[in-house]
Structure 1
Amino acid sequence: MHRPQWWSAWMDDKQQLTTYRFGSWYTTGVLSLSMKRHQRHGTDLTVHDFWAADAEAVNEMMAFLAGHHTRPAAVHFRRSALPPYPALLHNLHRYRLTAEAWHPWMLRILDIPEAVRLRGWPSDLATAVPMEIESENGGNSESYLLEVQDGTGQITETRAQGDVQLTRGQLAVWYAGGYRTAAAARLAGVTTKSDEALTQLIRATSDLEPWLPEHL
């Protein structure tokens, strides 16, 4: 968990959080939750952080929540609490699960090369895709070459014309794994000169969705 030193104390105070750490010799899980009185009786319990190193830690933390001493009628997970992994579906066999979806994020990529360098990429994908990306001020597009190899990625400026054209908004959606298929990207307005290039571009991000847990 790479957070500033002041983050935990500030968030604990701001959200009235109680934080638990799991593990014997080293931390394998971090669970932060808030509680408030229910309108009628009992307690409402909301999970803000659910960080687990492995499946064993997930099971331990789920068991802790299920047996919480306040006996809440329901446990609420904030959308940002869970990474893109269906842990709830595999650990709540005797409980009823309901989900509400919304999009609290506004993602704007300011430094394209650095954003690409820091992102996770498929280790089994080796590709090079020429792209044209709308300039920061919305003017003429700029040409780039995206290269993915051995789980790392880099993007560099080039003079060659791109096979796939993206606006700044489409770039953010692609980067966040929002386009699951090439057809979805086309329906969203992404234009391409090569179906193969678009397919490779979508494959690069569709299976590794970024987890954005810092939601105030």
Structure 2
Amino acid sequence: MPIRTLTDDDAEPVDRLRKVAFGRATGRNPLQPGVRGLLTEIDGHAVGVLTIKDFHQFHGGTPVPMGGVGLVAVDPHARGTGVASAMLDHALRDMRDHGQVLSALFATVPGLYRSRGWERAGVLEWIELGLDRLPRSGPRVRSRALSEADLPALHACYVDLASTVNGLLDRRPPTFDPRHLLDADVVSVVPGHDGEVRGYLVAERDRTELRVHDLVGRDATTLQGLIAELGSWSGVLDKISVRVTDPAVTGLLTGQGIKYTSTVSPWLLRVVDLPAAVALRGWPVARHLANAAVDLDVVDEHAPWHAGRHRLVVEDGQVRVEPGGTGEVRVHARALGAWYSGMQDTNALRRAGLLDGPAGLLDLLVGVPGVPRLADFF
């Protein structure tokens, strides 16, 4: 079936597919800065669409090029004919050609994406609680409204946090335009010395709640001060929803043992090119490990360029993947993403039937980084 590159002229049929698949049309051209896409046609009519966003995702403290797959929509009459599968296979080759060694997505139909090698690798989490139950004690910090001049320092504050949490995006342009923060209902900035930003919060007001998209601080005092500022909405609004960008915030918000609701959206990760993905990832633990290697047999029919036997080598604090080896550890494509992010260890992958053989070195390399997280939906 014909699959071609999405163009600006396809905005109208793509919006129709979006409305059919997701129940809403936006009227916007999907080809925004940092976005490209694929369109499938049958008899000259658009029946499927897929977009790929240009992201960099932190793993081991290093931003790794990642293709964010979204807007996967297929006309009802064309479903079950292989349109989505063909687009995903095409997208894998496209991402490899563009140097995107990883791919992440939020799956509405997990079975489809798992059949192509994506696997659950982290969460996007919101916490909801009553505003009257926020911790009332804590330090006060001096905050002010955001100005355009603050944007570079605010982004630097975010990146300092994101680099410590596997899965977070680095939010670099052009895919992200920091100027959109100037349109938010609430942006409070905690200034530091010499133009530094110590912390900030970004929120939108709804009729009964405040939705906090980012709550970021470089230290506990700043975070606690921003939480105290959120508490000032008590009596005006009923509740607060906080997207968990910094996992430390969870304990600060709920430190009184109060009841709260956590809503989790899992995201799936796929390794598009294993040797390149390993070369580009940060491996902080590697410099503390003795030289070692593990022989892999990668099972990946949809990315044949990295299928087969490889050796993952740790040498002098560096990690690389090279061809060859005995293939002692058989590893499925789905296992690669879950291992790479740190979401699953090899014991869980073995029980799931996605890995077979002694692979303790893989666990040592990833360490125990905590639950991988995204704080942006796409």
Alignment of 1:90-105 (within 5 A): 90-94=252-256, 95-103=258-266, 105=267
More helix by share: 2
* Aligned alpha-carbon RMSD (Å): 3.0
Picking from 124, 129, 142, the partner of 2:308 is 142
More strand by share: 2
Equivalence for 1:202: 363
Distance 1:163 1:31, change over 3 A: farther
The residue matched to 2:206 in structure 1 has which SS?
Answer: strand
**How far apart are the structure 2 equivalents of 1:203 and 1:171?**
15
Question: Is the aligned partner of 1:115 residue 2:277?
Answer: yes
Alignment of 1:50-89 (within 5 A): 50-68=215-233, 71-78=236-243, 81-83=244-246, 85-89=247-251
Contact 1:178 1:206 in 2 (8 A): no
Equivalence for 1:47: 212
Question: Is the aligned partner of 1:28 residue 2:28?
Answer: no
Equivalence for 1:41: none
Distance 1:113 1:158, change over 3 A: closer
Q: With a CA cutoff of 8 Å and minimum separation of 6, indicate the structure with the bigger relative contact order.
A: 2
**How far apart are the structure 1 equivalents of 2:315 and 2:186?**
42
Structure 1 residue 132: Cα displacement? 2.3
TM-score when normalising by structure 2: 0.46
Alignment of 1:129-208 (within 5 A): 129-135=294-300, 137=302, 139=304, 141-148=307-314, 153-180=318-345, 182-194=346-358, 198-208=359-369
**How far apart are the structure 2 equivalents of 1:147 and 1:62?**
45
Residue identity matched to 1:168: A
CA deviation string 1:48-86 (max 9, x = no partner): 1233223333222222222347743222123xx324x34
Equivalence for 1:128: 293
**How far apart are the structure 1 equivalents of 2:181 and 2:326?**
47
**How far apart are the structure 2 equivalents of 1:213 and 1:118?**
22
**How far apart are the structure 2 equivalents of 1:116 and 1:72?**
47
The residue matched to 1:99 in structure 2 has which SS?
Answer: strand
Larger radius of gyration: 2
Unaligned runs of 5+ in 2: 1-158, 160-169
CA deviation string 1:126-181 (max 9, x = no partner): 4432222234625583223324468x65322221123322222211111121214x
How many residue pairs were aligned?
200
**How far apart are the structure 1 equivalents of 2:318 and 2:227?**
35
The residue matched to 2:272 in structure 1 has which SS?
Answer: coil
Contact 2:332 2:355 in 1 (8 A): no
Residue identity matched to 2:259: R
Contact 1:113 1:154 in 2 (8 A): no
Unaligned runs of 5+ in 1: 39-43
Contact 1:116 1:153 in 2 (8 A): no
**How far apart are the structure 2 equivalents of 1:112 and 1:11?**
36
The residue matched to 1:215 in structure 2 has which SS?
Answer: coil
Deviates more, 1:25-34 or 1:54-63: 54-63
The residue matched to 2:308 in structure 1 has which SS?
Answer: strand
TM-score when normalising by structure 1: 0.74
Structure 1 residue 34: Cα displacement? 1.3
Equivalence for 1:213: 375
